[in-house]
Amino acid sequence: MYEQASHSLLNEILIELKPEIGKHRMRHFYTRLGANFYAIHSLFRLLYGDRPAFKARMLSLVETLASRDMERAPGLRKSDLAREKDYNWFLSQKWVGMALYCDRFADDLKGLRANLSYLQELGVNLLHVMPMLDCPPDNNDGGYAVRDFFRIDPRYGTTEEVESLAATLKKRDMLLALDIVVNHTSEEHEWARRARAGEQKYQDYYYVFPDREIPDHYEETMPEIFPETAPGNFTWDAEMGKWVMTVFNTYQWDLNYRNPAVLIEMVDIILFWANQGADILRLDAVAFLWKKLGSVCQNEREAHLILQLMKDCCQVTAPGVLFIAEAIVAPGEISKYFGEDAINAKECEIAYNATLMALLWDAVATRSAAVLGQGITSLPNKLERATWLNYVRCHDDIGLGFDDNDIRRAGFDPHQHRRFLIDYFTGRYPGSPARGLPFGENPKTGDARISGSLASLVGLESALESGDEAAIDAAIRTIVLLHSVILAFGGIPLLYYGDAIGTLNCLEYLADPAKAADNRWMHRSTFNWNKAKKRHESGTVEQRIFNALKKMIALRKEVTAFADFDNRQLLNVANPNLLAFSRTDPQNSRNRVLVLVNFNDAAQPLAIDGLRGHGFFVADGMRDLCTGERVAAENDSLILPPLSCYWLTD
Catalytic residue ranges: 284, 326
Q: What is the largest CA-CA distance in the chain?
A: 80
C-alpha closest to that of 267 among 65, 438, 88, 130 = 65
Distance CA 287, CA 297 (A): 8
Distance CA 126, CA 120 (A): 10
289 CB neighbour count, 10 Å cutoff:
26
Q: Give the strand pairing for 568-570 and 492-496.
A: unpaired
For residue 180, what is the enclosing H or E element? strand 175-181
CA 90 to chain centre: 15
**Under the phi-then-psi rule, with left for phi > 0, alpha for psi from -120 to 50, and beta for the rest, what region is 411?**
left
C-alpha closest to that of 562 among 540, 528, 542, 591 = 591
**Is 604 strand, coil or helix?**
strand
CA dist list (Å): 336 to 43, 119, 377, 518, 527: 17, 32, 17, 31, 36
For residue 99, what is the enclosing H or E element? strand 97-100
Are residues 288 and 297 in contact, defined by beta-carbon separation less than 8 angstroms?
yes
Collect all residues with Cβ–Cβ distance below 8 Å to 538 and sequence separation of at least 6: none
Angle between helix axes 301-317 and 27-48 (nearest 10 degrees) is 170
Distance CA 303, CA 317 (A): 22
**Is 583 strand, coil or helix?**
strand
For residue 162, what is the enclosing H or E element? helix 159-171
CA 74 to chain centre: 29
Distance CA 100, CA 496 (A): 6
Locate all alpha helices (DSSP H) within 489-572, ordered by sequence.
Answer: 529-533, 541-558
Distance CA 475, CA 470 (A): 9
Distance CA 424, CA 432 (A): 6
C-alpha closest to that of 422 among 444, 406, 398, 454 = 398
Distance CA 322, CA 178 (A): 11
171 CB neighbour count, 10 Å cutoff:
8
Q: Give the strand pairing for 644-649 and 622-624.
A: antiparallel
Collect all residues with Cβ–Cβ distance below 8 Å to 232 and sequence separation of at least 6: 219, 224
Distance CA 457, CA 450 (A): 9
Angle at 414 between CA 412 and CA 418, to 5 degrees: 105
**Is 284 strand, coil or helix?**
strand
For residue 323, what is the enclosing H or E element? strand 322-325
Distance CA 403, CA 414 (A): 9
Distance CA 339, CA 58 (A): 23
Distance CA 464, CA 428 (A): 19
